Amino acid sequence: MGQWIDHKAADGFGFPAYVARPTGKARGGLVVLQEIFGVNSHIRAVADGYAADGYLVVAPATFHRVKPGVELGYTAEDISAGVALKAAVEGLPAPGVLPDIQAAIDHAKQAGKVAVVGFCWGGLLTWRAACLLKGLNAAVPYYGGGMTAAAEAARVPQVPVLVHFGEQDQSIPVETARAFAKAQPAVDVKFYAANHGFNCDQRASYNEAAAKLARERTLVFLAQHLG
């Protein structure tokens, strides 16, 4: 089990992050970026899981600049609330929430090399981090909403990137995901016979086989670039 630790971004903004530590020496640092539902029980479980695999994990509360203490479920009402909060954060003046992610990366560096893994909106933020932030060694976006938009697909990653997309994703049309893969030949893009949110075992769209394969690939990728 992890614990909540207060962090401070370069602009002085304070925010909490859920930090999960491995037993024994860490294999590296990992920043886990939330979906639109906050650092909820699922994201904390993801963090705990990677800590069990030997990583020091930091999961920053990336909604904190617009609303503290967000922890949503997956009902229609929760989705609407999460979409509104995401829009509020995306509407912040640049650089928005990126300084908070940078602070999380900086904290994770105590464990050595650092990667970032993010889901849904966190997948989009993971892609931006790979292109814009410092101190990273790898990035793994899962079904990053908005990643396939032209402006995002035109970004240039500064570190190796492994991307997971669902071929049945109703939020990210597969043709746009394939166009992203074509535009980013250096990025390792994987496709799964699954829907949006396939990694989350609290959602109806959970796909055990796809989640297991994506996690196995992610762990190999992390070992390769953080080892």
Catalytic residues, by residue number, are 120, 169, 196
Among residues 14, 5, 104, which one has the least CA distance to residue 65? 14
Beta strand 114-119 with 55-60: parallel, antiparallel or unpaired? unpaired
Peptide bond just before 185 cis, omega within 30 deg: no
CB within 8 Å of 19: residues ≥ 6 apart: 2, 3, 4, 5, 47, 56, 57, 58, 59, 107
What is the token pair recorded at 52? 């069990």
> Does residue 144 sit in helix, strand or coil?
coil
How many residues in the chain? 227
Q: Say if residues 225 and 113 touch (Cβ distance below 8 Å).
A: yes
Q: Say if residues 192 and 165 touch (Cβ distance below 8 Å).
A: yes
Helix then strand then coil, in percent of the chain rounded to 5, is: 40, 20, 40
